[in-house]
Amino acid sequence: MTETRQQPGLRASVDSVVSPPPRLAGFAMCFVVALTALEFQAPTPFARLWTVICVAVGLSATIMLALIARRAALPAIRIGTVDWLFLLFSAIALISTTWSVTPESSLTQSLVGLLLWLALLGARRIPTLALLRALVGTAALVAAISFAVALAIPSVGFQPNPSAGLPELRGIFAHQLRLGLFQGTVVGVIVIAAINGEYMAIMGRTRLTRAITLLLIGSCAVAPISRLYSVTVFIALALTVLLLGSTRWRLLAAFGFVAGTITLAVYWDRLVGQLDSVEGGATLSGRTNTWERTARLAAQADYGGYGYSTFDSPIFDGAFTVNYRPLHAHNSFLQSYFELGLIGLTIVVGIVVAMLAGAAKVRKSLGRIPYSAFLVIVVALASLTGHSITGTPTTAFWLAFVLYCTETSEAARTRKINRGDVRNRGPYLPLAPQRSAAARYRETSR
């Protein structure tokens, strides 16, 4: 039998996937909180200032991370296809200020996107499981604070003029739909972690901690009553497992997907009736009216659209109904066509396709369902009926982006190790043959 030699320090590098150094865990939490804060409530006059503050916090954390990168032996930064596509999109967005109907907004949001990407350069060096643990902790903290705000100040904690006829929790988020999408996405991440055998690695050391965390996140995912986004998360989870899971999980996902489709078909008329009975633009007909008027305005623009982040400009108020003026087009792809023309739409579609293709490729190298694949599918589906990619930055898109970067980087380093190129090893990645993170967690906690 051939004996496999293990170099000194290799065990510590592998186990640190589950228990990263405290400083890295702190940087991960800081970055995730900054991204989540992009959705927080802010007084209208200071909304853009609040966005800049959130970006500055994330950028500061990643700059500090870069300063300790050499001492911590962090992996090198990899610039991929998605990065170049995003930089191309940002360049066109910046150039659009020359013909934008609101140049200040176009310039501000373009620079905010570039700053977030710079922050991402450092954050992509953080291990994926460290980011996921920070995401779960942030979601639990947001849930606890949101419930507290709703109890203390109902006018702030609940959505004004609820569309469902019931109190809709928004907590510290600007809108209940964004809170529902965020918490529902985290629930999906937890489900995938359970399938991957990494549940305990991201949920905490004790049963009590895991139970409280799951109760808070699950309750906060239901309380906003974000019906459309809940369906989006369910479909994204089913598609992710169906396409990238093992055989038994694929069969289970296929059964759930078919059962959900049949249920939706049976109750379709009743569902549409309930949606259309709601006043304002949250109805199905309200969205279709917005899409139709947005497409009509976009067709009247020049080849470059009206300029980046101009949809909510007062110039277009007269094109929409008096009782409802949407702040976005309820479709990110249509809004990119409105703001940057066919060029912007093509690049946005390219970003989504490249992220999906890249996330799907890492499954073989990492030996598990990629978390980034689930988040990218969520963002793509949510963009069909809401705002997730273009315009003001969203938490969902940037979480998908950073997890895509960390997982593709870890997959590339794993492939190099499997080829015998130990010089490119770096810490924070599993070895082949791989053990589950749950097994590594049990070993390190003894």
- Of the CA atoms within 13 Å of residue 285, those in its CB half-sphere come to 10
Q: CB–CB of 39/178 below 8 Å?
A: yes
For the segment 298-311, the average pLDDT, to the nearest whole number, is 87
pTM: 0.81
- CA dist 315 and 336 (Å) reads 18
* Token pair in block for residue 180: 């529902």
Domain limits for position 318: 15-444
7 lies in a domain? no
3 within some domain: no
Residue 322's pLDDT is 57
Percent of the chain whose predicted confidence (pLDDT) is above 70: 71
Our count of domains for the chain comes to: 1
Q: Is the residue at 2 inside a domain?
A: no
- The burial class, CB within 10 Å (0-12 / 13-18 / 19+), for 184 is buried
> Is 415's pLDDT higher than 90?
no
Least-confidence region, from 7-11, 118-122, 435-439:
7-11
398 located within any domain = yes
Flag whether 237 is in a domain.
yes
DSSP class of 2: P
Residue 426 lies in a domain: yes
Q: Provide φ and ψ at 331, rounded to 5°.
A: -165, 110
Q: How many CB atoms lie within 10 A of CB 321?
A: 13
Domain assignment of residue 371, yes or no: yes
One-letter amino acid for residue 131 of the chain: L
Note whether residue 435 is domain-resident. Answer: yes
What is the structure's pLDDT at 17? 42
Summarised one tens digit per residue, pLDDT across range 73-114 is: 556 677 889 999 999 999 999 999 999 998 988 898 888 888
What average pLDDT score do residues 266-294 get? 63
